[in-house]
Structure 1
Amino acid sequence: MNIFLIVLVVIVAAAVVAVSIYAYKNMHYDEKPLKETYSTGYREKRIALDDGTLLNYAEGPDNGPALLLIHGQSMKWEDYSRVLPGLAKYYHVYAVDCHGHGKSSHDSSKYTGAAMGQDFILFIEDVIGNPVVISGHSSGGILAAWIAANSPENVLGVVLEDSPFFSVEPEEMKNTFVWRENFETVHNFKSQTEIKDYVVYYMENSYIWGLFGNLRSIIARSTRNYREKHSGEPLKLWYVPYKWIHGTLYIDDFDLDFSETFYTGSWFKGINQEKILSKINCPSVYIKANTLYGKDGVLYAANSDQDARNVHSLLKGNEMVKIKSGHDIHFEKPDKFIQIMVDFLNKI
């Protein structure tokens, strides 16, 4: 009996330790990578363009050619923190907050791909001062492609990270995950007045959490309680895997009007994706994450395999790299992303 009790105590103690470690990781997962980023020599800065637009960015040490990182929608430069220390060994990195994100200007008059792309060209010319490699994630990849097509003298090469070409304009994406999970949810939130906190509304109304049955109501209740006690702080729930809610981490610094321009399609004013890709002459890599479909036929990916093949064929001399990963590849597979960027040095 004594041996049994000792074994039981050991098992319970081990379980408590395991749960504690798991909970701590979920509540603090973003802190260590950001601390390592700053210890590597990165500094956060802001620049005002001639028209008053503020662009916030992090700059790393000068250890190679300039690399401009453009994050995806609802993120900010800190989302790259898992890869910034590694990239700093090979590049002079500039990771920028897009318009309407983070500490950059929240000015809806600039919420089009063309306007943002033009400002980033000015950023390259006035702040960086040399041609750059550009890597853009998701919609940031569309911006990277736009810059490469319209300002080739400023671009050494482009790395397009799971960018949603041919699936992200309104007429294309009604049956995609990003439409149902993000753009439609934001639009519906803006059309109501009962719930003021978008994070709470999202957890109660999102497409993906609706697939979890009763679990959604439990997590939604936890979200409401957490946000009431930690107003304006990023959502972190100790029992929910951090990867599941990472998309909400920077939402309080995101202008929801930016998302609305994707719902209406106005962000794409003056942008023809096929023409942009066909105009690019510099070296390029297109990174494609897994293509998945839900049981309801919804595309759970940035774009389809056929769309990806179209991107690859339009980009002259392009290399397409397929990775078993979710959409945020640099976050989920940082070592693989860094290696792709290191290998890219041989192409420029």
Structure 2
Amino acid sequence: MLFIILGLLTATLFIIGIYIYKCTHYWQPSYRATMNAGFEEKQVVLPDGSMINYSEGPDHGEPLLLIHGQTGSWKSYTSVLPELSKHWHVFAVDCYGHGNSAHDAAKYYLDKNSNDLIWFIEHIIEEKTVVSGHSSGGLIAAYVAAYGGDYIAGAVLEDPPVFSTEPDYFKKSFAYVDTYEVMHAFNQLDQPECWEAYYLRNCYWGQLYMANAMPGLANYAEQYSIRHPDKPVQFFFMPQSINLTFQYVDQYDFAFGEHFYDYTWHADIRHETLMSAIHVPTFFIHAKEQYSPDNILMAASSDAQARKAVALIDDCQLIELESNHLIHWYHPEVFIDAVNRFLVSE
């Protein structure tokens, strides 16, 4: 009986150990696979002195430009980079205010960041390119697809917050009440606790689903940041979806979020105008809508908003699925299939 108990205890501890390891090291296997696939991190300085940091894969096909979402990094694509590199020449960039690209608030605008990526295609890639972006990066990809001229072969828009982040709707969206409203308040504080702790105390999803647990999680985050000032906050007892929220925030300029909060990031470009200007083959990947009990849109865009965007684009196919926002991480096969459809159509 003693051996049975010890065996069960050992097995339980082993399972717990695996869970903890996966919660805190979830990103490492895909990152190692990406680097083993031949990706190299590089930088380019533009004529005005701005610097774009990017990772380039081996030349195994036509160029593909990947643009991450807000608080992300080119590294957030490591879940799909090894597979994509088998058929594409992949370039994954850090947007301004993120990662190792320039942190210059003068560049935190849809048109300025996008125009510099068009320059990047013309002067670094120098070939016809398929462009894909996630979330706010999806809006940047839409701009590049619309105004990149003959250099753009097609686009994949991965769950962009189309129409939902325009002024007449923004305050009814999850992005506003959960992130940007909280971030704006955080930016006004003189001596704030770390962002992770402040966010957890005030985020919408936390108050909605686990209000009693949030103060303890916030306290843990604050203590973790004090003990590990050079590391992203990680919870060994929480699923990777929570840890992934904070993975790259230490390389994020909160002034970028402020521009999103007050809508100046959009540079007065209406989404209807933007979508109508896209004349290349496009795939729009949309995580289906959900609503909170108080009618907050718990998705990047509503089903109707996504379909309106698709209808405005000349040649666009809608791909819908039940998913959280980071589709290429949690459903990499869906994202890879959408990108690889351009290979089939050649």
The one-letter amino acid of 1:161's match is E
- Report deviation, 1:345: 1.9
Counterpart AA for 1:317: D
Q: TM-score, normalised by structure 1?
A: 0.96
Q: Which residue of 2 aligns with 1:33?
A: 30
Q: How does 1:209-220 map to 2 (within 5 A)?
A: 209-211=206-208, 212-220=210-218
Q: Is the 8 A contact 1:152 1:280 kept in 2?
A: no
Report the residue type matching 2:327 in the other structure.
Answer: I
In structure 1, C-alpha distance between the alignment counterparts of 2:8 and 2:288, rounded to whole Å: 38
Task: State the Cα distance separating 1:162 from its structure 2 match.
Answer: 0.5
> How far apart, CA to CA, are the structure 2 residues paired with 1:342 and 1:240?
34
Q: Alpha-carbon deviations, 1:177-198, whole Å to 9, x = none?
A: 1101111111000111232421
The match for 2:317 is 319
The match for 1:288 among 270, 275, 286 is: 286
Stretch of structure 1 that moved more, 68-77 or 141-150: 141-150
Name the structure 2 match of 1:60.
57
1:259 to 254, 257, 272: 257
Residue 189 of structure 2: SS of its match in structure 1? coil
Q: Give, in angstroms, the shift of residue 169 of structure 1.
A: 2.4
Provide the residue aligned with 1:244 in structure 2. Answer: 242
Retained in 2: the 8 A contact 1:114–1:270?
A: no
Question: Runs in 1 of length 4+ with deviation above 4 angstroms?
Answer: none
Name the stretch that deviates more: 202-211 or 29-38.
202-211
Q: Distance in 2 between matches of 1:45 and 1:174?
A: 38
Distance 2:68 2:273 in 1: 23
1:108 lines up with 2:105 in the alignment? yes
**Secondary structure in 2 matching 1:136:** strand
Aligned to 1:44: 41
The alpha-carbon deviation at position 245 of structure 1 amounts to: 3.0
Spell out the pairing of 1:1-348 with structure 2 (5 A cutoff): 3=1, 5-211=2-208, 212-347=210-345
| Structure 2 unaligned regions, length at least 5 | none
- Could you tell me which amino acid in structure 2 is paired with residue 61 of structure 1? P
- Asked whether the 8 Å contact 1:58–1:94 carries over to 2, the reply is yes
TM-score (norm 2): 0.97
CA distance in 2, matches of 1:7, 1:151: 66
Tell me the amino acid that sits aligned with residue 330 of structure 1: H
The letter of the residue matching 2:171 is K
The alignment yields a C-alpha RMSD, in angstroms, of 1.2
Secondary structure in 1 matching 2:344? coil
Secondary structure of the equivalent of 1:294? coil
Letter in 1 for 2:48: D
SS at match of 1:299: coil
Distance in 2, matches of 1:213 and 1:268, equals 33
Identity of aligned residues (%): 37
Number of corresponding residues: 345
Contact 1:73–1:139 under 8 Å retained in 2: yes
C-alpha contact (below 8 Å) 1:63/1:89 kept by paired residues: yes
CA distance in 1, matches of 2:345, 2:232: 39
